[in-house]
Amino acid sequence: MSEKKRAKIVLKILNQTYPQAPIPLKHRNIFTLLVSVLLSAQCTDVNVNNVTRNIYPKYNQPKHFVELGQKKIENLIKSIGIFRIKSRSIYNLSKTLVKKYKGKVPKSFEELEELPGVGHKTASVVMAQGFGVPAFPVDTHIHRLAQRWGLTNGKNVVQTEKDLKKLFPIKNWNKLHLQIIYYGREYCKARECYGLTCKICTTCYPNRKKPIKTKKA
């Protein structure tokens, strides 16, 4: 079976399973979406949402976090992993947004990726989910699933992103990356499916007998 055929199977099953794919991170505006995506590194969306529900009603603009200062931001997010690094990034990017962009989140990959603590994946999420610009954010989970499903041989997320963009129509990218995340959490879990039990794996690889080993990003 070719990669293109497997891609069609994946798209069909994901559309059947998740006709709607809401943004999992709760936010009030594009700035709070950016903050939540930063907080979600090495942390679950549920944990991020639990923390930010007490923050965003009061603090939801870059100027608010500049006024708070790094130490107070640390206290607000201390139940989240690597909170000191994240608080520094949030404080510094808030300062940059106030000084350089009049408190607005810039609407380009290049400008986003220049912000403190913002990499390509974070920028892609904000572009896709915040601005509706076609993007295909690939994290380690999507990288793992794309390998399991035979959509890439990529040794890293950069190559996997390129491969997925070639296989799927641009109109599907924004929704598809969320559908893949939801499916991976529910059906194709890292330590449960192993490429052998979920509907996508068994349809794409009906004769697979051994657990699939994926290359880490």
Q: Residue 154: its pLDDT value, please?
A: 80
Q: Residue 48: its pLDDT value, please?
A: 96
The pLDDT tens digits of the residues spanning 10-50 come to 999 999 999 999 999 999 999 999 999 999 988 899 999 99
CA 194 to centroid of chain Cα atoms: 22
**CB of 49 within 8 A of CB of 26?**
yes
Concatenate the DSSP letters of all residues of 108-154 into one string. SHHHHHTSTT--HHHHHHIIIIIT--------HHHHHHHHHTTS---
- pTM, whole model, 2 decimals? 0.92
- The burial class, CB within 10 Å (0-12 / 13-18 / 19+), for 40 is buried
Q: Residue 202: its pLDDT value, please?
A: 96
pLDDT band at 75 (very low <50, low <70, confident <90, very high): very high
Q: Residue 217: its pLDDT value, please?
A: 66
- Is the pLDDT at 212 greater than 90? The verdict is no
The pLDDT tens digits of the residues spanning 95-114 come to 999 999 999 999 999 999 99
The pLDDT tens digits of the residues spanning 124-182 come to 999 999 999 999 999 989 999 999 999 999 889 999 999 999 999 999 999 999 999 99
- Is the pLDDT at 93 greater than 90? The verdict is yes
Q: Which domains does the chain have, with CATH numbers?
A: 3-21+136-204 (1.10.1670.10), 30-130 (1.10.340.30)
